[in-house]
Amino acid sequence: MTIFVTHLPDMSDFFKTLKGVSQGIYREKMSRFLAFAEPVSSADEARAVIKRYANEYHDARHCCWAYMIGTERNEYLSSDNGEPSGTAGKPILGQINSFELTNVVIVVIRYFGGIKLGTSGLIGAYREASKLAIEAGEILECHEQAQLSFTFPYLSMNDVMKVVKRSDLRVVEQAFDNVCSMTIEADADKVPGLREQFAGIDGTSIVE
């Protein structure tokens, strides 16, 4: 597992997530647990990932999962998908919490091997499979992003683009006419300063 960390004085706008898809495989008493961990940006995206794995492994006995969304880590959900209550979804979510991740979904597919594992065995298996999937990936520490939209006259284009290039901003949307519009994305803590810079350009109006 590789962890990339950027150290800044105020870490309140930072969160940990996965760089990409990772996988772990755990075996216990003939049962196979295939765990997949993916970064997502919303609950809808997480549910789409869950549905994809459920369809791909439709022949498996269980498709259990958990996700965590948002920099505040306050939007989460888990499912035992037919396993005894609390033996699958909670252990998966527990590993997400242990690694302090967010914007992530973990799906664990179980192929039943014919031997019952019991409550403690199931909890341990789902926990270990999830842990292996996380450890197989790369954890990123990311800065919370925010967007800023504004309009400006075409004659102010050069001044606007100077700020965009100087601050290395990502342009999300833009339209050029007599009255132009632009939406930029930047680190959340930089947006107030950028707001002042753009508002100071002649004819520019911030879109609330």
> pLDDT by residue for the chain (208 residues), tens digit each?
333 333 333 445 678 999 999 999 999 999 999 999 999 989 999 999 999 999 999 999 999 999 999 888 899 999 999 999 999 999 999 999 999 999 999 999 999 999 999 999 999 999 999 999 999 999 988 887 789 999 999 999 999 999 999 999 989 899 998 899 999 988 888 899 999 999 999 999 999 8
User: How many domains does the chain divide into?
Assistant: 2
What is the amino acid identity at position 202?
D
The three-class DSSP label of residue 51 is helix
126 and 59 together in one domain: yes
What is the amino acid identity at position 109?
I
35 and 61 together in one domain: yes
- Pick the closest to residue 24 from 126, 124, 116, 102 (CA basis): 126
Measure the CA–CA gap between 204 and 194, rounded to whole angstroms: 12
In angstroms, the first-to-last Cα distance of the chain is 42
34 and 131 together in one domain: yes
Name every residue whose Cβ is closer than 8 Å to that of residue 193 and which is 6 or more positions away in sequence: none
Phi first, then psi, for residue 126 (nearest 5°) are: -65, -35
What is the amino acid identity at position 121?
G
- Domain hosting 191: range is 144-207
pTM for the whole thing? Answer: 0.72
